[in-house]
A = this chain, B = another copy of it.
């Protein structure tokens, strides 16, 4: 098996990633390549051409997910799946999503170069619209495939230019009508998605590989504090209903509620809007958001459910309203897949850390269908969804070697 990992070509993988990055390039090494766009189709054609060079077959499903398949010696055996997505944020980087598709292609190419035929086929998928920045929500491709929702569920969602998801999807399917069509849904033997970490942990710990144990759950809230405006020069503090001061009390109390010595829980107040937002007026209203994440369902439920009471207790003078806008419970990855990825890294002598994923990924919709896991590579300074997103060619190649080792172990 080490032969395949050894056949992973760092230079080729980097060069191809940089060729993709030219499609939608923006200043500062960034990429803006929306889902279901002409640029997306150009990148997919490039992928199809590379697949052709090694004899992999190509197909597409009704959600425009693009599939590459390198046949195994037992075509009837369920395939092993890998892949990620090729769309980007509007001011995104070169690696988010693209790396996971490229790593899959690189494994197929390394198998080809090493002359290895696995028992099970290995499939590489490029999921449609993971980011959700052109058409919200994200992960529509993997959700459609998994049967989480019918593929036409988002047909009426429109982008900023008024183009509907349904129309953009139809355009993409028409433009790729030359490709064989495959059905939505399938039952892979196992799935491993490679992805950049999008956080700073691996870099901070000096590890090359994150063995991902699951995707944490999220709860999003909006808090409104309604006070009363007053003249900053005349209103005594004891008579004020100052929404900014109540916000400070509220956030301090939420910090205490969400304190976690293990630093696993993620609590973020990222958006604050103050009215009238005038330097010499006491704030009449503050609206702020809460983003709460944790890999443990019980923690997420307990802390999230406690917030409203904590807020009402902390706030002194304002009226409080708390609305939960979204929640997604945690996904736990398969113990066998986690062990397989871990064993692959260990066998290759590549340093690793087990960690949950803070961000969403398509893998969370594959997890209910088949044993699933993920491999992370380090993100410099933890930066992602930003042109400055960076992982070195060597780091990307280490991730792909672990992926190759693990996929071959699963494919037999």
Which of B216, B266, B289 contacts A237 (CB under 8 A)?
B266
Q: Is A90 an interface residue (CB 8 A)?
A: no
* Docked CA distance A277–B277 (Å): 15
Partner-contacting stretch, out of A56-64, A116-124, A381-389: A381-389
Contact (A234, B359) CB under 8 Å given A251-B244, A382-B239: yes
Q: Is A1 an interface residue (CB 8 A)?
A: no
B231 touches A199 (CB 8 A): yes
A230: chain B residues at CB < 8 Å are: 199-200, 382-383
Q: Is A131 an interface residue (CB 8 A)?
A: no
Q: Is A235 an interface residue (CB 8 A)?
A: yes
Q: Is A198 an interface residue (CB 8 A)?
A: yes
B231 touches A244 (CB 8 A): no
Chain A 239-250: CB-based contact to B (< 8 A → 1; otherwise 0) = 100101100100
A289 touches B279 (CB 8 A): yes
Which of B200, B231, B237 contacts A385 (CB under 8 A)?
B231
A386: chain B residues at CB < 8 Å are: 229
A192-250 CB contacts (< 8 Å) to partner B: 197-201, 204, 216, 218, 220, 228-239, 242, 244-245, 248
B248 touches A236 (CB 8 A): no
Nearest-Cβ distance from residue A213 to partner chain B, whole angstroms: 14
Nearest-Cβ distance from residue A383 to partner chain B, whole angstroms: 8
Residue of B nearest to A360 (CB): B233
Contact (A270, B283) CB under 8 Å given A216-B233, A248-B251: yes
A360: chain B residues at CB < 8 Å are: 233
B200 touches A236 (CB 8 A): yes
B235 touches A382 (CB 8 A): yes
A252-280 CB contacts (< 8 Å) to partner B: 252, 255, 260, 263-274, 277-280
Chain A 95-122: CB-based contact to B (< 8 A → 1; otherwise 0) = 0000000000000000000000000000
Q: Is A83 an interface residue (CB 8 A)?
A: no
Nearest-Cβ distance from residue A229 to partner chain B, whole angstroms: 7
Q: Is A293 an interface residue (CB 8 A)?
A: yes
* Docked CA distance A255–B293 (Å): 31
Residue of B nearest to A379 (CB): B234
Q: Is A281 an interface residue (CB 8 A)?
A: yes
A123-138 CB contacts (< 8 Å) to partner B: none
Which of B236, B248, B279, B293 contacts A232 (CB under 8 A)?
B293
A357: chain B residues at CB < 8 Å are: 233-234
Residue of B nearest to A262 (CB): B236
A242: chain B residues at CB < 8 Å are: 268
Q: Is A188 an interface residue (CB 8 A)?
A: no
A216: chain B residues at CB < 8 Å are: 233
Contact (A358, B244) CB under 8 Å given A252-B252, A279-B220, A279-B289: no
Q: Is A139 an interface residue (CB 8 A)?
A: no
A381: chain B residues at CB < 8 Å are: 228
A234 touches B279 (CB 8 A): no
* Docked CA distance A274–B289 (Å): 12
Nearest-Cβ distance from residue A196 to partner chain B, whole angstroms: 10
Q: Assuming A220-B280, A234-B384, what are 11 further A-B pairs, CB within 8 angstroms?
A: A199-B231, A231-B358, A234-B382, A235-B266, A237-B265, A244-B251, A245-B251, A248-B248, A248-B251, A273-B277, A280-B291
A-B pairs with beta carbons under 8 Å apart, 18 shown? A197-B234, A199-B233, A199-B236, A201-B236, A204-B239, A218-B233, A231-B358, A232-B293, A236-B266, A237-B263, A239-B382, A244-B269, A244-B270, A245-B255, A248-B251, A248-B255, A270-B278, A270-B280
List the 8 shortest-distance A-B pairs measured between CB atoms, nearest first. Answer: A199-B234, A233-B358, A234-B358, A279-B289, A232-B268, A232-B291, A233-B359, A198-B234
